[in-house]
């Protein structure tokens, strides 16, 4: 049975998932607490990546190198970028891009130097199961599938989100970790999928009820989605 990791960036995002874990053992590496145990009868590793691309990439590397993880699932929140993606909607990634990667004119804007790639695909099979899990667990929620962009910025002005929409019109949502994990997983050939509940519209009101939204909505959403996903996976 392949090892699965369930990760979020922040404690508040993962609180409801951690509460459901059984027989967990903690191992601290590089200041991160890795919880190994059973969730819905499955062996999992659960960890907080911390916030931002470097923290997320380091956490993904540890999960793969030290825990032998072969499937990695991120669950958390994101800002909505595309006009159709509203607060409370759920986005499952089909691909990821680092919106703050720019080594032009040496390489095209957004391209990760020496990879020839700007977009990193989510694992198709795992993402399909994740989307099905969302539909089962949250039948009322509006579900979108598409591009999620990541960067080391919490986007909280309409000016910046409009500029990103203009240059990346198919981007559905924005966060700070996914594309970094996708790059690491692509390097190692590990399956990666991500689900994000939309907490804000990455505009001038983005920071408003952020923490309250995570606690009351996104964290229970994550627990329900992860439960449905683990029940579905073989």
202 touches ligand ADE by CB under 6 A: yes
Query: How far is the C-alpha of 60 from the C-alpha of 74, rounded, in Å?
Result: 10
Residue appearing with tokens 């390489």 = 107
Helix (H, G, I), strand (E, B) or coil at 126: helix
199 touches ligand ADE by CB under 6 A: yes
Please say which residue, 152 or 187, places its beta carbon nearer to ligand ADE: 152
Which spans in the chain are helix H?
Answer: 11-19, 53-67, 124-137, 158-167, 178-188, 210-213, 219-232
78 touches ligand ADE by CB under 6 A: yes
Query: How far is the C-alpha of 167 from the C-alpha of 155, rounded, in Å?
Result: 15
Judge whether 13 counts as a catalytic residue: yes
Please say which residue, 160 or 187, places its beta carbon nearer to ligand ADE: 160
The backbone torsions φ and ψ at residue 2, rounded to the nearest 5 degrees and listed phi first, read -75, 145
Tell me how many residues contact ligand ADE (CB under 6 A).
13
Please say which residue, 8 or 127, places its beta carbon nearer to ligand ADE: 8
Residue appearing with tokens 């990666």 = 192
Let me know how long the chain is: 234
Judge whether 200 counts as a catalytic residue: yes
Instruction: Annotate each residue in 5-44 with x if it binds ligand ADE (CB under 6 A) or - if it does not, as one string.
Output: ----------------------------------------
Residue number of the CB atom closest to ligand ADE = 79
Please say which residue, 36 or 150, places its beta carbon nearer to ligand ADE: 150
> Binding ligand ADE by CB under 6 A: which of 130, 175, 178, 195?
175
154 touches ligand ADE by CB under 6 A: yes
Query: How far is the C-alpha of 35 from the C-alpha of 48, rounded, in Å?
Result: 10
Taking CB under 6 A as the binding criterion, the range among 32-40, 58-66, 95-103, 150-158 that sits at the site for ligand ADE is 150-158
178 touches ligand ADE by CB under 6 A: no
Please say which residue, 62 or 151, places its beta carbon nearer to ligand ADE: 151
95 touches ligand ADE by CB under 6 A: no
174 touches ligand ADE by CB under 6 A: yes
The per-residue DSSP string of 138-205 comes to -TTS-EEEEEEEE-SS----HHHHHHHHHH-TTEEEEESSHHHHHHHHHHHT-EEEEEEEEEE-SSTT
Q: Which two tokens stand for residue 157?
A: 């002005």
| Active-site residue set | 13, 200
Q: Would you tell me which residues interact with ligand ADE (CB under 6 A)? A: 77-79, 154-156, 174-176, 199-200, 202, 206
């Amino acid at each position: 049975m392949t090892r699965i990791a369930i990760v979020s960036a922040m404690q508040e995002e993962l609180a409801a998932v951690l509460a459901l874990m059984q027989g967990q053992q903690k191992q601290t590496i590089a200041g991160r607490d890795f919880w190994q145990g059973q969730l819905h009868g499955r062996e999992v590793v659960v960890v907080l990546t911390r916030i931002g691309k470097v923290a997320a990439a380091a956490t993904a590397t540890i999960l793969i190198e030290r825990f032998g993880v072969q499937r990695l699932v991120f669950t958390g929140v994101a800002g909505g970028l595309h006009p159709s993606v509203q607060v409370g909607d759920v986005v499952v990634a089909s691909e990821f891009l680092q919106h703050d990667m720019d080594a032009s004119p040496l390489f095209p804007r957004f391209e990760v130097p020496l990879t020839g790639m700007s977009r990193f695909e989510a694992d198709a099979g795992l993402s399909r199961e994740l989307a099905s899990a969302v539909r089962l667990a949250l039948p009322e929620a509006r579900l979108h599938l598409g591009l999620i962009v990541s960067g080391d910025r919490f986007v909280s002005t309409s000016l910046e989100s409009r500029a990103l929409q203009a240059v990346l019109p198919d981007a559905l949502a924005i966060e700070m970790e996914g594309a970094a994990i996708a790059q690491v997983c692509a390097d190692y050939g590990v399956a990666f999928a991500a689900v994000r509940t939309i907490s804000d519209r990455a505009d001038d009101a983005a920071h408003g009820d952020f923490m309250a939204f995570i606690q009351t909505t996104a964290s229970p959403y994550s627990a329900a989605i992860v439960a449905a996903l683990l029940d579905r996976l073989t």
